Amino acid sequence: MVWIIITIGITLIIAATVATMIAARRADRHFFGKRYNGNPFVHYFEAKDFPGLQAQPISFPSSSGISLRGYLYHAKGVQVRALTVFVHGLGAGHLAYTTEINFLANSGYLVLAFDMTGCGASEGNALLGFDQGPLDVSAALRFIGSQPRLAQFPVFLIGHSWGAYSVINALPNYPGIAGAIAVCGFISGASSVAQSFFGNFGFLSPLLSGWLWLFNRKRFGRNANQNARSALQKTDCPLLLLYGGEDKIVRYRENGARIRKAAEKQDNIKFLYFPHKGHNVYLSDRAEKALQTQLGNIPKAIRKDKLALQKYYASLDYKLLTEEDMSVMSEITKFLDSCLEGFFAK
């Protein structure tokens, strides 16, 4: 009887291991191994859509030697006080954030915004994993260091979602950064993929995340499986963290709450929590609601009809969809200004 129970137990363990490996591979292929060029039907604002916003094309090599492309943005007639590297999230390149870039430029910041490997205008056949992000941020910082006209400015890092994860994990290697802002960032790439793809997977969590950890290790070697909580403990850079309680993409309980607890004893970290906001805490409530209703609930009847989709997306109010919450944006500029004061006081 004992041997029967042991045999059944071993069989169940093997079955669970194989099943979770297959499930993890499916999740991995859902997110990675492809390019992210944005939604072809969505209108992404460019510099020309904002009066006075100037954009200079730039490119620099990634850690693997491919070309990463973007722009240096500044507002005409506004004195530049510092340089900000803006790091985008998953799904599209930096043009999804042009409204925020315009705000920063008009607040006196030169903004270096680029598309990460396999995204937007940058080279790369595919995005292989979230751990590519910190490597690309490092490439941007090396580029800045090689350009005397850029290196003269205090440098800030700002990232959203995957970009926030990338910013946090890059910080320990760059102690000279004047300050950083991470908006709705996840703790680890493996756990983020598992949470996003499987939702509440309970007792299978260690197995699923374990397989994803192994896939990352194979691709990125010693740069694989970086962890935002660990990175926070290795930096004394002034850091502003923002999270939304209603975020369904980077869930607060599994990410923001845990990061907040880990950062409680660090004087260099300021944490802002917005209980009723979602993944885009910098947007107005109207904009977040419009994103959910207009982009999150596209009528089924037109989802496979390209012409109908084109007309649907063309009818959207993109100014509303990108409308900023000025109270949140003012918190961001207040933080940047205070960091600048501290930087020049050293």
- Smallest CA-to-CA distance from 231 within 182, 278, 280 is with 182
When pLDDT is cut at 50, 70 and 90, the band that residue 56 belongs to is very high
Residue 125 in tokens:
């056949």
Distance CA 266, CA 171 (A): 15
318, pLDDT greater than 60: yes
Q: Tokens standing for 59?
A: 């490119």
Residue pLDDT, tens place only, 267-313: 999 999 999 999 999 999 999 999 988 888 888 888 888 999 999 99
Neighbouring residues of 135: CB distance < 8 A, sequence distance ≥ 6: 62, 63, 117, 223
Q: How many CB atoms lie within 10 A of CB 99?
A: 20
Residue 2 banded pLDDT, cuts 50, 70, 90 = low
Choice among 147-151, 169-173, 208-212 with the minimum mean pLDDT: 208-212
Beta-bridge partner residues of 160 = 183
Lowest mean pLDDT of 27-31, 48-52, 140-144, 326-330, name the range. 27-31
CB 228, CB 186: distance < 8 Å: yes
Residue 20 sits at φ, ψ, to 5 deg, of -70, -30
CA distances to 30, 54, 298, 304, 322 from 98, rounded to whole Å, are 27, 12, 24, 29, 9
Is 247 a residue whose pLDDT tops 70?
yes
What's the whole-model pTM score?
Answer: 0.93
User: Contact, 8 vs 91, CB < 8 A?
Assistant: no
Which residue would you say has higher pLDDT here, 181 or 5?
181
| 252's tokens | 């607060």
Cα–Cα distance measured from residue 82 to residue 103, given in angstroms and rounded to the nearest whole number: 14
Of all residues in the chain, the percent with pLDDT exceeding 90 is 72
Burial label, 210 (beta-carbon count in 10 A; 0-12, 13-18, 19+): middle
Cβ pair 282, 329 in contact under 8 A: yes
| pLDDT tier for residue 262 given thresholds of 50, 70 and 90 | confident
Confidence (pLDDT) at 205:
66
Residue 60 forms beta bridges with which residues? Answer: 68
Which residue type sits at 161?
A: S
Query: Average pLDDT for residues 121-139, to the nearest whole number?
Result: 95
Instruction: Take residue 245 and report the two structure tokens written for it.
Output: 């309680």
Contact 192, 131 (CB under 8 A): no
pLDDT digits (tens, 9 = 90+) for 67-125: 999 999 999 999 999 999 999 999 889 999 999 999 999 999 999 999 999 999 999 99
pLDDT for 23: 76
What is the pLDDT, as a whole number, of residue 46? 97
